[in-house]
Chains A and B, each alone.
Chain A
């Protein structure tokens, strides 16, 4: 294991120097762009400025006013060029037509870097495109940088469940591809006056060529499933709560805060909560602004799912619990007593403020 990045000595072969520009494939579904796409446009801007090149945003879908609006947003967040790829076949995401079109567009316009969100769509599409393009793809990066010596992308990602970080490069192949999870990069400021160039692309697809059909879409709101990934506040419970009835204390606090309730894997296995509330390696990865961990010891499997929270408050009776190694603030005490006190105190503060305003 050497600390010295060997890749810096590598010089790019002549034929790959035609690849220029940093691209983001904008994730658009049902007329909405995913926030991770704008986080990545912000990141692409920084990389492109270091390289002295342009930021390209690729927007795919069936032509509509929504698509036009999303193209405008892309400029606002920092894109110089928007590749607007429209065809009725692209209305819903399906791997086959999206991968085929994206491969063609990349081959035609030759970007040096292509970034996607590490979402179900982004990971599905990135894996397919990188295979056809026979290039390198680095998943779930937490940091992106440029080695100025040879214009190469240095993509840093956690490995071994977050115990190590590694920096990965794609040296002799282009484009260099990477995915980044939502909320890892900061959301850039939007400048509505920013304008750019639109490149319209009409791929002329035929629905008959696509084997996969979308029968229907079931939105989550209709399903009553927990939405932890986008929650600003999560109150989470572990085995320290003792018995299932005590989970009510967590729900009470969550209700006052408008928060979601998360749990550790043992609680799901014991049947206290459903799997959609499990936070951790085999459950959800979350990045809320506030994570209150009650009676959670902080095993690595749980930690990797929540340690990116902006602020972690942990409540545990054991002052040596591993969670206090990475939480920001600690209450050494019994969650069964602290939780109701927090609920009461929060309720009072929020109520007082409401009366005052």
Chain B
């Protein structure tokens, strides 16, 4: 069994600041992390490895510095890592990104057939949740997004049973391998790697592929392969004013004033509350 986990190195959004004068992002010194959503998928892949002895390959597309994220993933217990990096990939939107990642997965598949592809539910910087479905569609994999639980993986029968979050409930789905899975957040906690894993992570050679190593049609990657264009980037209008302070000399007075304020601002909500 061979599992590919796609991860992305992202800036830690908690640390991003906007320059107060120029209104641009201050990227300097913002630490890079593995997209937090990817860790739920990586942990689930590692759990399947624990049960079945599967091989786990982590794959990322990004600049050379993304190697750090792959090393981190190896230290959690992944077996192999591939860095897809090329100047020609720069400016890829989700369609072009899924094409490039699909090209790399196809190459991995030729070496060792791939049964499962995991992706993060979405990234914290792009927030689109589109790359996973893009890969599944391109590879003809069964698409299982927002999975809260993997109930069963039957390696012999090549089936998988999962719980999928949908509006108003959970769908229990059974399907055939190969498939693409994105895990819901909070479904597990990424393990601490063992000392052995840490040493192995440092020693494992990373494979680095550029467009010439796996991409068939280079018009489908980078800016050229991206149907969307960003026509404008701007800072949201800061709220005109800070919160209005509710005055009162005791908790009871504050509470009464707060309720008056709420009811005055939201008359419809007040009417609904009072009608209950």
Q: Tell me whether A124 and B133 are in contact (CB under 8 A).
A: yes
- Name which residue of chain B comes closest to A319, CB basis: B245
Q: Tell me whether A164 and B236 are in contact (CB under 8 A).
A: yes
Which residues of chain B are within 8 angstroms of A272 by Cβ–Cβ distance? none
A218: shortest Cβ distance to chain B, in Å? 4
Instruction: From B56-64, B76-84, B139-147, B196-204, give the one contacting chain A.
Output: B139-147
Q: Is A170 an interface residue (CB 8 A)?
A: yes
Instruction: From B43-51, B171-179, B208-216, give the one contacting chain A.
Output: B171-179
Q: Tell me whether B142 and A325 are in contact (CB under 8 A).
A: no
Q: Tell me whether A215 and B259 are in contact (CB under 8 A).
A: no
Interchain CB contact (< 8 A) of A5 among B128, B170, B232, B262: B232
Q: Is B21 an interface residue (CB 8 A)?
A: no
Q: Is B20 an interface residue (CB 8 A)?
A: no
Q: Is B65 an interface residue (CB 8 A)?
A: no
A301: shortest Cβ distance to chain B, in Å? 6
Interchain CB contact (< 8 A) of A330 among B175, B227, B245: B245
Q: Which of B142, B169, B232, B242 has the most CB of A within 10 A?
A: B232
Query: A162-186 vs B: 1/0 string, CB under 8 Å?
Result: 1111111111110000000000000
Q: Tell me whether B24 and A1 are in contact (CB under 8 A).
A: yes
Query: A129-165 vs B: 1/0 string, CB under 8 Å?
Result: 0111011111110000000000000100111111111
Interchain CB contact (< 8 A) of A341 among B161, B243, B251: B251
Which residues of chain A are within 8 angstroms of B164 by Cβ–Cβ distance? 120
A55: shortest Cβ distance to chain B, in Å? 23
Given contacts A5-B232, A166-B230, contact A214 B132 (CB under 8 A): no
- Name which residue of chain B comes closest to A310, CB basis: B266
Q: Tell me whether B130 and A126 are in contact (CB under 8 A).
A: yes
Q: Tell me whether A213 and B173 are in contact (CB under 8 A).
A: yes
Within residues 79 to 138 of chain B, which ones have a CB less than 8 A from any CB in chain A? 93-95, 98, 124-134, 136-138
Which residues of chain A are within 8 angstroms of B174 by Cβ–Cβ distance? 212-213, 215
B179: shortest Cβ distance to chain A, in Å? 9
Interchain CB contact (< 8 A) of B230 among A4, A168, A313: A168
Which residues of chain B are within 8 angstroms of A258 by Cβ–Cβ distance? 273, 276
- Name which residue of chain B comes closest to A171, CB basis: B229
In the complex the two chains form, what is the Cα distance from A7 to B134 in whole Å?
25
Which residues of chain A are within 8 angstroms of B273 by Cβ–Cβ distance? 257-258, 350
Given contacts A211-B142, A300-B14, A324-B243, contact A134 B129 (CB under 8 A): no
Q: Is B269 an interface residue (CB 8 A)?
A: yes
Given contacts A159-B127, A313-B258, contact A169 B228 (CB under 8 A): yes
Q: Is A226 an interface residue (CB 8 A)?
A: no
Given contacts A136-B95, A159-B126, A299-B14, contact A341 B168 (CB under 8 A): no
Q: Is A19 an interface residue (CB 8 A)?
A: no
- Name which residue of chain B comes closest to A278, CB basis: B186
* Chain B interface bracket (under 10, 10 to 19, 20 to 34, 35 or more): 35 or more
Q: Is B28 an interface residue (CB 8 A)?
A: no
Which residues of chain A are within 8 angstroms of B14 by Cβ–Cβ distance? 299-301
Q: Tell me whether A333 and B254 are in contact (CB under 8 A).
A: yes
Q: Tell me whether B125 and A160 are in contact (CB under 8 A).
A: yes
In the complex the two chains form, what is the Cα distance from A172 to B174 in whole Å?
39
Instruction: From A42-50, A68-76, A77-85, A90-98, give the one contacting chain B.
Output: A90-98
Q: Is A232 an interface residue (CB 8 A)?
A: yes
A168: shortest Cβ distance to chain B, in Å? 5
Q: Tell me whether B227 and A135 are in contact (CB under 8 A).
A: yes
Query: A200-220 vs B: 1/0 string, CB under 8 Å?
Result: 000000000001111111111
B18: shortest Cβ distance to chain A, in Å? 6
Q: Is A38 an interface residue (CB 8 A)?
A: no
- Name which residue of chain B comes closest to A142, CB basis: B236
Q: Is A236 an interface residue (CB 8 A)?
A: no
Q: Tell me whether B262 and A120 are in contact (CB under 8 A).
A: no
Q: Is B272 an interface residue (CB 8 A)?
A: yes
- Name which residue of chain A comes closest to B99, CB basis: A131
Q: Is A196 an interface residue (CB 8 A)?
A: no
Q: Tell me whether A214 and B232 are in contact (CB under 8 A).
A: no
In the complex the two chains form, what is the Cα distance from A323 to B268 in whole Å?
25
Interchain CB contact (< 8 A) of B231 among A6, A160, A213, A233: A6
Q: Which of A5, A8, A163, A173 has the most CB of B within 10 A?
A: A163
Within residues 207 to 242 of chain B, which ones have a CB less than 8 A from any CB in chain A? 226-236, 239, 242
Instruction: From A59-67, A239-247, A282-290, give the one contacting chain B.
Output: A282-290
B257: shortest Cβ distance to chain A, in Å? 9
- Name which residue of chain B comes closest to A276, CB basis: B186
Q: Tell me whether A311 and B36 are in contact (CB under 8 A).
A: no
Q: Chain B: residues with CB nearer than 8 A to chain A?
A: 11, 13-14, 16, 18, 24-25, 36-37, 93-95, 98, 124-134, 136-138, 142-146, 161, 163-176, 185-186, 226-236, 239, 242-246, 248, 250-252, 254-256, 258-259, 261-262, 265-266, 268-269, 272-274, 276
The 4 nearest A-B residue pairs measured at CB: A127-B133, A136-B227, A341-B251, A275-B186
A-B contact pairs, 5 of them (CB 8 A): A136-B93, A161-B13, A233-B269, A301-B14, A345-B252
Apart from A310-B266, A331-B254: 7 A-B pairs, beta carbons within 8 A: A120-B164, A136-B93, A140-B127, A167-B233, A300-B13, A311-B266, A313-B261
